[in-house]
Structure 1
Amino acid sequence: MNTKGLIWSLIKYTPGLYSLNLILAVFGWTLFLVPAYVSGAFFDVLNSGSPEYTTIIQIIIILFTGQFVRILLITVNIPVDVTFKNKVGALLRTNMLKQIFAMPAAQALNKSAGEAITSFREDVDDTVTFPGYSSLLDVIGAAVFSLAAFVIMLRIDVMITLIVVIPLIIIMTILHITGKRIVKYRVNSRHSTDAITGFIGDMFSSVQTIQLTGSEKHVLARFAKLSKVRHKFMVKEAVYTSFLNSIFTNIVDIGAGVILLLAANSIRNGNFTIGDFAVFTYYLTWISQLIKRFGSLSAQYRQVNVSVERLQSLIQEKMADKLVSHNESIMDDQLPEYKSSATNRDRLKKFTVNDVTFTYPQSNKGLKNISFELERGSVTVLTGKVGSGKSTLLKTVVGHLPLTSGSIKWNECEITNNDNKFESSYFSYAPQLPVLFSESLKENILLGCQATNEQLHRVIDITELNGDIQNFKDGIDTVVGPRGASISGGQKKRTSLARMLLRDMELLVMDDPTAGLDLNTELRVWNNIVEMRGTKTILVSSHRPYVLQHADHIIVLENGEIIEQGKSEQVLEWMKNNQYL
């Protein structure tokens, strides 16, 4: 979708609001016709030799009334415009998030975190500002006013009025010549902003590592270098934009000066009255502003092109049309209802992974021809050496990585959709590295799930978080900090595990969920999990002897392939005989 199509779709999202915005902008500009009429009439009355003071007072009243109405229009116009920009901005951001969440995790974000943040912030803001009151609507209003003024000026003097067009032609020529450089400077400034935003995020999330390795000076030097690069590109763009605006202003002012000299000559020749000259001068001032505004808008449009391309590349080109889908946005009051587990007709009997292959891009590593079955109520453990493919297999099972080939079935039904992403209502997943938000412990466990206090305390008991919560100053409402920085690694693990269990799914997928726990806590958590055998189907990766001994089925991986699988007694004997692990 090109920039024009995207802008038009945003306008159609709130047609009533945008129409009101347009009407207010145009009406506000047309009120500038009033002072010109007033000044013309005023000077003609004064020049008549016997001015009537009543007429002068009427003219002054008309002038002040027009200005007062214009102030009222601006007072209404600004909140209308802000509401429009917020609504369409929320729509863009909502659709971006939806498309990112709709893709497999490995493909969801093809840009760095810094690029994504800049796109969500600056690129969206630039895009939604363009059709608004301060940009496009301002020029449209000025154009309507200028058209009416141009007609009046033609009636006064055709030749002088036509000269007004010359500065516009010169400005358009300059824009055509400088267009590529405008785009180049905007791309460079955005990329430099991406780099420093991403670095700041990485820096704040790695404070402990930076301190422990004594890398503070190196990190600050890197930050200073990125700042200098961004400063250079931002200054270049700002200077170049100001330079163009200065050229536009001077071209317009020189043109206006020439026109006024010609108009003064017409007064001397008797072709202009003093009132005509006042009207002509007033209109010329604002028409000159239109020409300058049009030049700035054209330059801004080229910058918006860059923003639109960056937004579309963030969610991948094939999904670009969905960027402006007219759906509910994050500004809507009603949040979508959380959907819990699968329906009864979807109850798990058998989960089948059939000949699954996955290869990492630009690598021959991954999974090769993986096949196994999970019976309802069983505990299956994936084990193997470091780098054998355990986490990769689990991510493939839950749809975070797309299948290169093969199939995954829930009972006899294949559970991939058209985008090769699995429906989350089939399972719960606890990743190897827990992800927490800077919210309370309770909110991190719930994460949108509508659960009762009884359900919440049940998963807290299973994950042995009770003692930790009692020691927290604010209990379960304790804020865990960015990425859980204020709690321990073991507490993060168990919070992620509690979040998974709260979803109450039939299939629980866990990637080494108790790594980092002390031995006693780990054994208690595993005892609690194993007690769910029969009601839940569990697929877990681990190399802990305790976990392997409580498995129904064990799968051994090496270099992305299954080298042994079967009942736990059989595989444990094989591992003992081969001195594996």
Structure 2
Amino acid sequence: MLTLKQTTVINNGGAILNVLSYDIGKFDLLCVYLNDVWGSPFAAIMLFPLISMNIGFLPTLSVYFVFVLIAILQTVFSRMAAKYRLESVRWADKRIRAINECLIGCETIKMYCWEKPFERLIYKLRYNECQYIGRANGLRAINFSLYFLSLPLATLTAFGSYYLWEKQRPPLTTPLIFTTMVQLVILRSILVNLLSMSIESISELLPASKRIDEFINLTVISESEMSKEKKSNVFNDGSIQFENASFTWNDISNQLIDINLHIEPGTFVGILGAIGAGKSSLLSAVLGEMRIVNGRRNRSQKKIAYVSEKPWLFTGTIRENILFGQILDHEKYRKVLEATCLIDDLNEFQAGDLTVIAENGTNLSGGQRARVNLARTLYGSDEADFVLLDDPLSAVDGQVARKIVDQCLLNYLKSKTRLLVTHRIHFLSHTDYCLLLENGRIKKINSFNELMLNEPEVRKIYEQQVLSDMC
């Protein structure tokens, strides 16, 4: 799980959950019934002469014919039920993915009053899932009915054929009847119960093993890409280099095209462009989250610190969210709080940095969540050469944003290679140079002032940001 790419987890969340909750359990059932695959036929063969001693060869053969016929019917129904169950799991994948997307975007859904359409979508997915579950359970119910029906049929066949074909034998007695009945019960358990259950478990195991294999291959692909990059990387100086590199998320179309870029260590680089131009995707390409289609991606093997666009917080104290399991260094911790302008905010809380963050940080403002997220990255950035910042200033006001740029980006992280994505592009005047992205391509590489003079698109973004700040 930890080696999977973020997009793989997001796009296959339902499938991964089903693998962990459903498919793996099939191997437990296989361990229970595996020996019955060979043990049941062997036991049935050994039981044949014992039953023949009581009721004769032909009646015993008739009984076996009835049990084998029922076992074949159960096998057919079990295989059909396994197919229906596989279809229900596929619909469950889609339903879980849809529910996950609704939970992530619940605020947007509420704002645009999309509750009913999404409710109908999820209901339809669940309805289709239940249809296949109902069919599979119906076939299993038929199998159970055949199990309970098999003994009366076998008993009628045994004693009826005994009456028709074994007239030379002595009449049936109470000990003979009860002995034969016990043997038939054992035979039913062997052929109709244990053997059919083992065949059903194998039928369900085959698609489950394919799904597990697909899940494992996701991890192998990720590791192979990482090892491939390690082999192609011939430098270790903290630089980043792309040579005619194209990247994709979904193998359908390339989101980044013909990227040529060389970032020297210690450089402060700004990334700007219109919405959807590929700014966040470029950071993901540096992280190794996107699959490279063409060209080369060379990157230092040293660590990367990353500030995500959407803050990620867990339920715990503010201090625990910042330290993230690391040892508390009071001096370093104080500098991080100063760099992220969190000291005044913590003073407003009665418990200070021991204040417990609610689920998804609902008891913090958007700016506070963004700065706690940034503080965590700063505290763990000592061993990192790169710091990738995906719009960390979007949720804070202008005055706080200015302080963060001065104290954090230009001071605390001054020795790092910094890549900053922001829509507040007037702060990019502090960068060494900027990348202007357009439709997944690097349109221009130049200083911010030169881009302001020569690129109307940059001036338009700047004017929109100024109007937004005034409002």
- Same fold by TM-score greater than 0.5: yes
SS of match in other structure, 1:388:
coil
Q: Of 173, 184, 193, which residue of structure 1 is paired with 2:92?
A: 193
In 1, distance between residues paired with 2:45 and 2:345? 73
* Letter of the structure 1 residue corresponding to residue 440 of structure 2: G
* CA distance in structure 2 between the partners assigned to 1:478 and 1:153 by the alignment: 76
Q: Which residue of 2 aligns with 1:407?
A: 296
The equivalent residue for 1:492 is 369
Structure 2 letter corresponding to 1:385: A
Q: Deviations over 1:199-255 (max 9, x none)?
A: 333333344333333344444444444443333332222112111331243234311
Distance in structure 2 (CA, Å) of the matches to 1:348 and 1:507: 11
Counterpart position of 2:422: 542
Go from structure 1 to structure 2 and tell me whether the alpha carbon gap of 1:201 and 1:273 turns closer, same or farther (over 3 Å shift).
Answer: same
Q: So what's the TM-score if we normalise by structure 2?
A: 0.79
Q: Does 1:131 align with 2:30?
A: yes
* Secondary structure of the structure 2 residue equivalent to 1:506: strand
Residue 306 (structure 2) aligns with: 429
- CA distance in structure 2 between the partners assigned to 1:475 and 1:140 by the alignment: 67
**Are 1:289 and 2:289 matched, yes or no?**
no
Among candidates 257, 277, 302, match of residue 203 of structure 2 = 302
Amino acid at match of 2:327: A
SS of the aligned residue for 2:30 comes to: coil
Contact 1:252 1:291 in 2 (8 A): no
Distance 1:571 1:290, change over 3 A: same
CA apart distance, 1:109? 5.5
- Listed as ranges, the matches of 1:236-385 within 5 Å are 236-260=135-159, 269-270=169-170, 275=175, 277-293=177-193, 294-316=195-217, 319=220, 348-359=237-248, 361=250, 366-385=255-274
Q: Following superposition of structure 1 onto structure 2, how do residues 58-77 of structure 1 map, counting pairs within 5 Å? A: none
Q: Equivalences for 1:223-242 in 2 at 5 Å? A: 223-242=122-141
Cα distance in 2 between the residues matched to 1:393 and 1:232: 43
Q: 1:209 aligns with which of 108, 111, 116?
A: 108
Amino acid across the alignment from 2:112 = T
The Cα shift of 1:198 comes to 3.1
Contact persistence 1:377–1:533 (CA under 8 A) = no
Q: Report the secondary structure of 2:292's partner residue.
A: coil
Percent identity over the alignment is: 20
Q: CA deviation at 1:404?
A: 1.9
Alignment pair present for 1:510 and 2:389 = yes
Alpha-carbon distance change, 190 to 512 in structure 1, aligned in 2, over 3 angstroms: same
- The alpha-carbon deviation at position 365 of structure 1 amounts to 5.2
CA contact (8 A) 1:359 1:365 kept: yes
**Aligned-partner Cα distance in 2 for 1:434–1:509:** 14
Closer/same/farther in 2, CA of residues 140 and 273 from structure 1, 3 Å limit: farther
Matching residue of 2:278: 389
In structure 1, the partner of 2:469 is none
Give SS of 1:393's match. helix
Write the distance in 1 (CA, Å) between the matches of 2:131 and 2:68: 32
Measured against aligned partners, the alpha-carbon deviations of 1:417-438 in whole angstroms (never above 9, x if no partner) come to: xxxxxx6x53111222233445
- Stretches of structure 1 that go unaligned for 5 or more consecutive residues are 1-96, 323-344, 416-422
CA distance in 2, matches of 1:177, 1:317: 33
Q: Please tell me whether residue 452 in structure 1 is matched to residue 317 in structure 2.
A: no
Q: How far apart, CA to CA, are the structure 1 residues paired with 2:114 and 2:76?
A: 47
Relative distance call for 1:179 and 1:287 in structure 2 (3 A) is closer
- CA offset digits 1:439-497 (Å, max 9, x no partner): 554554455x5333435554344323344445456654555455444433323322332
Paired amino acid for 2:211: R
- In 1, the alpha carbon distance for the partners of 2:449 and 2:281 equals 26
Contact in 1 for aligned 2:245/2:293 (Cα 8 Å): yes
Separation in 1, partners of 2:321, 2:273: 31
Q: Deviations along 1:137-159, whole A, 9 cap, x unmatched?
A: 67777667656655644555651
Contact 2:95 2:122 in 1 (8 A): yes
CA distance in 2, matches of 1:117, 1:295: 28
The one-letter code of the counterpart of 1:565 is I
Kindly indicate whether residue 436 of structure 2 is the aligned counterpart of residue 559 of structure 1.
no
Shift of 1:309: 2.6
CA displacement at 1:277 relative to structure 2? 4.7
- CA gap of 1:347–1:222, structure 2 versus 1, over 3 A, is closer
Q: Does structure 1 retain, via aligned residues, the 8 Å contact 2:238–2:386?
A: no
Say if 1:146 and 1:286, in contact at 8 Å, map to a contact too.
Answer: no
Give 1:154-193 correspondences, 5 Å limit. 156=54, 159=57, 160-175=59-74, 177-178=76-77, 181-193=80-92
* d(CA) in 2 for partners of 1:317, 1:577: 40
1:501 aligns to 2:402 (yes or no): no
Unmatched 5+ stretches in structure 2: 224-233, 462-471
Backbone CA RMSD of aligned residues: 3.8
Shift of 1:506: 1.4
- Tell me: CA distance 1:105–1:216, structure 2 relative to 1, closer, same or farther (3 Å): closer
Equivalent residue letter for 1:452: L
Distance 2:149 2:52 in 1: 24
* Partner SS for 2:393: coil
